[in-house]
Chain A
Amino acid sequence: MSKLSTRVRGVNLANKTANEIWPRLVEAFKPFVGYRILTKPGNLVAKCEKAVKKLDLPCNVVVRVYWRRSEHTLTFCVTTCVDEGGRAFYYDAMLNIGDIRDGVLEKLHDLNGYFRTDYTEEEILRKREVFEAAKRAAGEAEGALYPFGEYDR
């Protein structure tokens, strides 16, 4: 297995998990909109913690979902660790499901269609080729500007 295929698998798995859990997280946090969800030191209040624990989010070596401490956004992180042939690849997908101001949950976001789960090795290779060609063209275009350069300083 190539390194790229491991990466593609890791990213797709994280995004798939993110797609599965965000509606459940939004549902769990709906009753808290307009209420304080962070304690003074910045932890989630006990009620929210209980609500999250009830969801029984995945937590194993391959997929782990955890709350990320932040004062401005309600963020959960899906970490995947994909192993292929003794090689590990880590990927974090961030779920920014809401905004927080002064510890109060202001609103929740709709993340529908935000995470792609259909990345393929071929697609990445194709995009890399496009990028390489664009870089070469940019280099040539920059060379053609000589001796004037991009700006008049």
Chain B
Amino acid sequence: MQAYGDPSKVFCGTGRAAAVARVLVRRGMRRMCLPVPETNEELAEAFITAPWQFSDGISRALQESAKAWERNDHAEEQAKAEAVEILMALLNVKLDWPGLYPTYKYTGKVPAGVYVVEGYQLSHVWSTIKEIREKGQA
């Protein structure tokens, strides 16, 4: 949908999608009873540290985006979808949109021995990222 520059800057930006992304992380942290950081940079860091904790929020945002598409509310649809794109860009994961739901592709450096799974499943993204971090490159 959109090409981003520095992902963390986009996350801290003023656009609607960035605001939705920040709300998603903030809400996720509140739901898990974790202290919510004050600055946007800290918020981005909290997401990057353990993104798998926000799977619920991401899935819900994608569902809401799909529902918005169904009722022709394209501003809402774009905002929710781009929010997820912004968040995943923080992790060097690129989204493609073959349909209403995205596929994920890790675009960062991959150490030898790590097999990057591409597809619709968030859990595959998380396991790829965990494995890459375990090898010390992400």
Interface residues in A, total, Cβ within 8 A: 21
B31 within 8 A of A: yes
Q: Which applies to chain A's interface (DSSP): helix, strand, loop or mixed?
A: strand
Residues in B whose Cβ lies below 8 Å from that of A59? 34-35
A-B contact number at CB 8 A: 43
**Which residue from chain B places its CB closest to the CB of A68 in the assembled complex?**
B32
Give A contacts to B, CB under 8 Å.
43-44, 49, 52-53, 57, 59, 61, 64, 66-69, 79, 81, 85-90
Task: Return A25 CB to nearest CB of chain B, in Å.
Answer: 10
- Are A66 and B34 in contact, with the CB atoms below 8 A? yes
Cross-chain contact of A67 among B33, B130, B133, B136 (Cβ < 8 A): B33
- Are B134 and A88 in contact, with the CB atoms below 8 A? yes
**Which residue from chain B places its CB closest to the CB of A48 in the assembled complex?**
B33
Interface residues on B, range: 10 to 19
User: Quick one: which of B79-138 are within 8 Å of A by CB?
Assistant: 130, 133-136
User: Quick one: which of B26-62 are within 8 Å of A by CB?
Assistant: 30-35, 49-50, 53, 56
- Are A79 and B134 in contact, with the CB atoms below 8 A? no
- Are A44 and B33 in contact, with the CB atoms below 8 A? yes
